[in-house]
A and B are shown apart, each in its own frame.
Chain A
Amino acid sequence: MSIIVDKINYIYEIGTGFERQALKDVSCVIEKNEFIGLIGHTGSGKSTFIQHLNGLIRATSGNIFYEGQDIYDKDYDMRKLRSKVGLVFQYPEHQLFETDIFKDVCFGPKNLGLSKMDTELRAFEALRLVGLDENLYYQSPFDLSGGQKRRVAIAGVLAMKPDVLILDEPTAGLDPKGREEILGCVQHLREETGITVILVSHSMEDVARYVNRIMVMNDGILMYDDTPANVFAHYKELEQIGLAAPNVTYIMNDMKKAGWNVDTSVLTVEQARDSILSCIDQNVYRK
């Protein structure tokens, strides 16, 4: 299972005088079980790109292959693609509409034409996967907290049993703990189901902590596509396009400049701690 994106271009509002090229020759391969972080400033083309992956937007030129099949083939089943490549939009709580949470999660599988029993089984499974309290299943989705609503919305897509889950800034607007909870939930989900996840995020710290591959978009171009350590090594270039590296990257680089022999490719606070401690004489601090 893989998605192959081959030189796609996308031009907005062709023939209106407001034309703008949103994607320029973007190519990449997304393999099974990957956890990819997609970063870029607002308007860099991230959202346009992910909507190509499930066929919501059609490329002006170029091809996309899902499991070896060209999704732009005339008789390709686009609706099936959408169930396989699940996309959760930013502020997903804005798409909740049913009278209770359970019904809302059933919406996706029901659209797939599944039987009532299969639909409900899938909804239960999805709600369990996002870790929502069972007492809440039959309550109105509108009474939930921001973080809970987001879980319900993610469950709504998971219930379609996608192979790939794309999350567009799932933590936007949440408080620090809420952010951690949602990302923890995604991490757990990956461990349990082996689903491929593409996480669009503004938080370099979050991306560094969770993903194993980062794509950087700038002005519609896929600028970097590499491991987090390799991408953040370009922190100066990232700054120029309105992004940054995680704070620890800066700390470690500054320490290196000051003559410490630390590892500048660390991604988390814990790794930074270990690297710093390894440079300090054990006798200084071990009592």
Chain B
Amino acid sequence: MGIVKADKLTFEYIRRDEEGNVDSITTAVDNVSLEIKEGSFVAVLGHNGSGKSTFAKHLNALLYPTEGTLWVDGMDTSEENNTMSIRQTAGMVFQNPDNQMICTLVEEEVGFGPENIGVPTDEIWQRVESSLKAVGMYAFRKASPNKLSGGQKQRVAIASIVAMKPKCIILDEPTAMLDPAGRKEVIDTLHLLNKQEGVTIILITHYMEEVIDADYVYVMDEGKLVMQGTPRTIFSQVEHLKELRLDVPQVTELVYELQQSGLPIKDGILTTEELLQELERFR
């Protein structure tokens, strides 16, 4: 079994009126089945409100399925006894860096998770050091998170998860509030962790450029899993993506436009180099 396996996962938000009667039911995640291989870099795309965040919260046992089952590293998330081990196995980084920092010093922030799971003091310090080094923030260990840039804050948030030695990190739009330089910092850090430490990365985003280097992409819409495949196969379906309120990288869009004008150019080009190579045929 993969590190994450969902079988017909369904989650319903139930809204109640003042008397407690059911007002409306929204199906936020609708019959999603998927399996994610350990050590892979996976991206989940979808517009705001497509259900991707709700899905992510299931991976961390912050929400439980209404129907269907979700296993994280073989553990059923709806079993209460598993909650703590699941949260240790699959760490979660959220969108707003300010709202997930608990402590006033970077090193204390990174130590917070290990403290909660009862790691002995000496080992906490080792873990804090190694995880801050892994994200390149060791020099800031004595700084206050309030004084860091957005990208640096998110790297600290990632280090705080790494310090719990998870097999998998889920990131819920970690770059939505950052500037381009900060976005790049965070994405580079994630690829590094994935390659060097073998941590499974599940990146939820709506920035298409961040998805190009992923191993596999899932696209969600109205709670359903509507597309899946390698970035190349996903991005060759430009029209379908636009229907889903999404976008494609500019290179891919250019290829699409050229195709529309009648140039017989191949599908699924993701980088400038590939485009240049392909265009050589028409010289």
Contact = CB atoms under 8 A, between A and B. Distances in A.
Q: Do chains A and B touch in the complex (CB under 8 A)?
A: yes
B270 to A, nearest CB: 11
A176 B47 CA distance: 7
A251 B251 contact: yes
B1 interface: no
A177 B50 CA distance: 13
B254 A269 contact: yes
Contact of A254 (B249, B264, B272, B283): B272
B150 interface: yes
Contact of B261 (A174, A176, A246, A277): A277
B48 A273 contact: no
B266 interface: no
Contacts of A184: none
A146 B263 contact: no
Contact of B282 (A42, A248, A250, A285): A285
A277 B46 CA distance: 33
Given A42-B150, A285-B262, A273 B182 contact: no
A145 interface: yes
Contacts of A74: none
Nearest to B256: A269
Contacts of A247: 249-251
B206 A175 contact: yes
B7 interface: no
Contact of A273 (B176, B246, B258): B258
Contacts, number: 99
Contact of B276 (A146, A205, A254): A254
B263 A285 contact: yes
A145 B47 CA distance: 12
Nearest to A254: B272
Contacts of B275: 251
B182 A42 contact: yes
Nearest to A270: B257
A272 B252 CA distance: 12
Contacts of B264: 285
A257 B268 CA distance: 23
B269 to A, nearest CB: 11
A174 B17 CA distance: 29
B48 A272 contact: no
Interface residues of B, number: 37
B47 A273 contact: no
Contact of A251 (B149, B177, B246, B254): B254
Contact of B247 (A176, A251, A273): A176
Given A42-B179, A277-B261, A280-B282, A174 B48 contact: yes
B151 to A, nearest CB: 9
A113 interface: no
A260 B182 CA distance: 34
**Residue among B176, B179, B182, B251 with max Cβ neighbours from chain A (10 Å):** B179
A146 B279 CA distance: 40
Contacts of B180: 41, 202, 204, 242-244
B250 A277 contact: no
Contacts of B176: 172-173
Given A202-B180, A255-B276, A269 B253 contact: yes
Contacts of B49: 145
A277 to B, nearest CB: 6
A117 interface: no
B187 interface: no
B272 A176 contact: no
A286 B264 CA distance: 9
Contacts of B149: 42-43
Interface of B: 46-49, 95, 149-150, 176-182, 206, 208, 245-247, 249-251, 253-254, 257-258, 261-264, 272-273, 275-276, 279, 282-283
Given A178-B245, A242-B179, A246-B250, 13 more contacts: A41-B179, A41-B181, A173-B176, A174-B48, A175-B47, A175-B246, A176-B246, A247-B250, A248-B250, A273-B258, A276-B279, A277-B258, A285-B264
28 contacts: A41-B181, A42-B149, A145-B48, A145-B49, A146-B48, A173-B176, A175-B245, A176-B47, A176-B206, A177-B246, A242-B181, A243-B180, A246-B250, A247-B249, A247-B251, A250-B272, A251-B272, A254-B272, A269-B254, A272-B257, A273-B254, A276-B279, A277-B258, A277-B261, A280-B282, A284-B263, A285-B261, A286-B262
